Structure 1
Amino acid sequence: MLRHARQLVENAERIETLANYFTQGWEPEIRIAMDTIFPEDLMLSVLNAFASEHPQIRITLVESALSGTDEALLRHEADLVIGGHVPPGFTGHFLLNIQFLAVAHPSHPLHHNDAPLTLDDLKSHRQLVVKDSGSRRLDAGC
C-alpha cells in the first residue's frame, strides 16, 4: 500500500510541476525541424541541456532538407526551424556558418590538380545529391 501511495504522490507532484510550466507559458511539446546540414552533435548537446532544465517538456526533432525545413514551419508542423534562411514573414537569428568542402578519395583525379578547385572542375565528376524533403524538390548537388 505504501509503494502505491508513493507513486500517487510522485504523479501528483509531476502534475503540479506541469501545471506550473503551463501557467508560465511553456508548451507541453516543442516541435523542431532541423535542416540536415546543421551539425547533429551540436543539436543533440543543446537538446540534452534543455531537457535537463525542462524534463517535463517533450521535444520532437525532425530532420529535413532544403525547402522541407521551410514547409514544416509554413504547414505548422514545427514550432522552431533551424535552416539556411528565414522564410518571408518570419523572424530568425543567425546561428553559425557552415563550410562545405569538396571531398574525394586520394587516388581520385581531383587530388592531382595543383590549382584550387573550381565548379567547372567538379562538374565533370560524380556528385552526391541531397534530396529535398519538401514538395517543391529543390535538390542540391554536392
Structure 2
Amino acid sequence: MPYRPKSTLEQWRILQAVVDAGGYSQAADLLNKSQSSLNHAVAKLQNQLGVELLQVIGRKAFLTEAGDVMLRRSRILTQQIEDLELLAASIDMGWEPEIRIAVELVYPKEFLYQALAQFHPLSRGSRIQIIDTVITGTTEVILEGKADLVIAATGVIPRGYLGEPICVAHLIPVIGAAHALAQHKQLDLDELSQHLQIVIRDTASKPMEGPGGWLKAEQRWTVSNFYEAIEIIKSGIGFCWLPEHLVKNLIAEGVLRRLPLTQSSERLAPMSLLTPKEEKLGPGSRQLRQLILAIHGKTGSPL
C-alpha cells in the first residue's frame, strides 16, 4: 500500500505561524484566520500524529521537546515545497532549471565564485553545473553547444564565435624547491626539454592539434588538473606551466620555484566569455552573464 500522509502542509504552516507569532491570537491576525480554526488545526495535527507539539501556558504557546524537533523538520519541508513551486513558475516563464558553465582551467575561478555568490539569491532554484575544460575540449564544448556560458582562452574560440574579453591569465614555468633545476640562475629551452614535463590532459573526446603551449620535453606525464600537477612538482618531480594565481603563495613560501628561463618566461592566456547559442539563452543565464561581466568591470555589451 502506498504511504498516505497523516498531516497536511497547511497544518504545518499554521503550527509554524503560531510559534513564530508567539500565540494563537497573534497568528490568527497574521494569517487572517479565526483563532478557533488555528486551535482546531493544531489540535488535529497533534491527534493525527499522536505527539504533543505545543503546550499553552497562560496566553502563550510553547513548543514541547518533540514539537521543537518536528517544527524544525517541517520548516525544511515547507521551504522545499515553496522552492519547488517557484521552480515550476520559473520554468513556465522560461527560467532554466539548470545553467551549465564551461570554464577553461587556466581561468581564475575566484571571479566566477564572486558572480555566483551574487547570483544565488536571484537563481530561482536553478541548478548550476560547472564544467572544467582544457584546450580543444573548450572548443568542443562551444561547437557542440554543451554549455550555456563558456569562459574560454581566446585562442581556442572557433571561427564564427565571438567572445567578450574579460581578463588575462598568466602561466609561468614552475618546479619544486627540491628539483635539480631549482639552483639554476638561468635556463634555456633546450636544457629544459631534457627534463620531465607535467602537462594537463585535453578534455576533448578527440583531442586535436592546437594551441597547447610549449610541449617540447621528451618526457611527459599527463594529469587531469593543475592541482594534481602542483602536488607532483612539490615533491621535486618534473616542471609544469601553471597559472600564476594558483602558485604565487607557494612560490612566496619557498615550496615552489619559478624557472628562470632566458626566453618565454611566461605565457599569456587572454580569456573571453561567450555564449555558444545566444538565441537559446534563458533569462537565468543572461543574468549570470551580466554578473560575470560586471565582476570583470565590463558593462555587459552583447557577446
- The equivalent of 2:136 in structure 1 is 67
- Call closer, same or farther: CA 1:110–1:44 in 2, change over 3 Å: same
CA contact (8 A) 2:87 2:97 kept: no
CA contact (8 A) 1:68 1:134 kept: yes
Secondary structure of 2:150's counterpart equals: strand
- The equivalent of 1:90 in structure 2 is 161
Q: Which has the higher contact order (CA 8 A, sep 6+)?
A: 1
- The equivalent of 1:111 in structure 2 is 182
Report matched runs for 1:1-142 at 5 Å: 4-5=9-10, 6=13, 11=81, 15-16=85-86, 19=89, 23=93, 26-85=95-154, 86-115=157-186, 117-137=187-207, 138=209, 141=215, 142=240
Q: Which runs of 5+ in 1 are unaligned?
A: none
- TM-score, normalised by the number of residues in structure 2: 0.40
- Call closer, same or farther: CA 1:112–1:22 in 2, change over 3 Å: same
Partner AA of 1:42 in structure 2:
F
Q: Which runs of 5+ in 2 are unaligned?
A: 1-5, 14-76, 216-239, 241-303
Deviations 1:39-68 (A, max 9, x none): 233323322221233242221111121111
Partners of 1:87 and 1:108 lie apart in 2 by 38
Higher strand proportion (structure 1 or 2): 2
- The equivalent of 2:43 in structure 1 is none
Secondary structure of 2:176's counterpart equals: coil
Aligned residues: 140
Higher helix proportion (structure 1 or 2): 2
1:9 is displaced (CA, Å) by 9.4
- TM-score, normalised by the number of residues in structure 1: 0.76
- The equivalent of 2:257 in structure 1 is none
Partners of 1:16 and 1:109 lie apart in 2 by 60
State the superposition RMSD in angstroms. Answer: 2.9
Report the identity percentage: 29
- Call closer, same or farther: CA 1:125–1:90 in 2, change over 3 Å: same
